[in-house]
Amino acid sequence: MATQAAQATQNIILAGFGGQGILFAGKLIAYAGLLEGREVSWLPSYGPEMRGGTANCSVCLSDEPIGSPLVVSPDVLVALNQPSFDKFEHDIAPNGLALIDSSLVNCTEKRDDLHLVGFPATKLAEEAGLKGLANVVTVGRLFAEIGFCKKETLFAAVEKCVSAAKIALVEKNKEALELGIASFEEMKKVSERRPRKEGE
């Protein structure tokens, strides 16, 4: 499944509470695409959102010029809160991936044609002393799941997206990426011992 999602074009929606860093996570993915010379677009939802309301952005990575940057039927949904998952679950393309933060989202799956991956991004981030970086942990996990770029590109993208003046922050972001990637390896080890269910 994971390899199947890693195709020439990725249409991604990232969604969560305002303040969770959803737009930044999208930018990180888009920048990785840019650094690999791909066509990319990043489009935020905008409006008079209150603090704590939901925010989302569309990210497209492609080898062809991108038409509409507005993703209406994503191959990948990243949802960091319940309202976002509920809102976009039905829009995900058949056999698409839903990556959700199981610390905050109830993972009951209503569709049987989705690859649903829940992992406790917020909890992992907080336990690792990376409070507020669940968004970047999730990007690391998404990378591990679908490999939308080379690993070194992802880390180079962090340096582009975080002000060079904030070296400590750059390092924390990299740690967060590693944490997300490690969570995938961990899951794989577990599932090797306990084979994944059909359709996972």
Partner 1 sequence: MSEKVLMKGNEALAESALRAGCRFFFGYPITPQTELAAYMSKRMPKEGGTFLQAESEIAAINMVYGASAAGARVMTSSSSPGISLKGEGISYMAGADLPGVIINIQRGGPGLGGIQPSQADYAQATHALGHGDLHVIVYAPSTVQEMADCAYSAFDVADKYRTPVMILADGMLGQMMEPVVLPEPKNTAPEKPWATVGHNHARPHNIVNSLFLSADKLEGKIKERFERYEVIKRDEPRAENFMTDDAEIVVMAFGASARIARSAVVSAREAGIKAGLIRPITLWPFPAFAIEETIATAKSYLSVEMNMGQMVDDIRLVVAGRAPVEFFGHTGGVIPTPQEVLAKIEAMHEAIGGKAAEAAAALTGGKAGA
Which residues sit at the interface with partner 1, rule CB under 8 A? 9, 11, 27, 30-31, 34, 39-44, 46-48, 58, 60-74, 91, 93, 160
Nearest alpha-carbon partner for 1 in 94, 120, 82, 137: 94
Nearest alpha-carbon partner for 133 in 146, 123, 142: 123
φ, ψ at 107 (rounded to 5°): -90, 25
Q: How far apart are CA 86 and CA 115, in angstroms?
A: 16
64 vs 192 by CB, closer to partner 1: 64
Q: What is the CA radius of gyration of the chain?
A: 16
Q: How far, CA to CA in Å, does 50 sit from each of 26, 132, 133, 156?
A: 20, 19, 21, 33
63 vs 185 by CB, closer to partner 1: 63
Do 127 and 142 touch, CB atoms closer than 8 A?
no
Alpha helices in 63-116 (DSSP H): 82-88
67 vs 129 by CB, closer to partner 1: 67
Largest CA distance in the chain: 48
13 vs 179 by CB, closer to partner 1: 13
What is the nearest approach in angstroms of partner 1 to the Cβ of residue 4? 15
What is the nearest approach in angstroms of partner 1 to the Cβ of residue 42? 4
73 vs 106 by CB, closer to partner 1: 73
What is the nearest approach in angstroms of partner 1 to the Cβ of residue 128? 28
62 vs 153 by CB, closer to partner 1: 62
What is the nearest approach in angstroms of partner 1 to the Cβ of residue 10? 8
What is the nearest approach in angstroms of partner 1 to the Cβ of residue 23? 10
What is the nearest approach in angstroms of partner 1 to the Cβ of residue 182? 27
In which residue are the tokens 């959700």 written? 100
Nearest alpha-carbon partner for 120 in 174, 92, 80, 176: 80
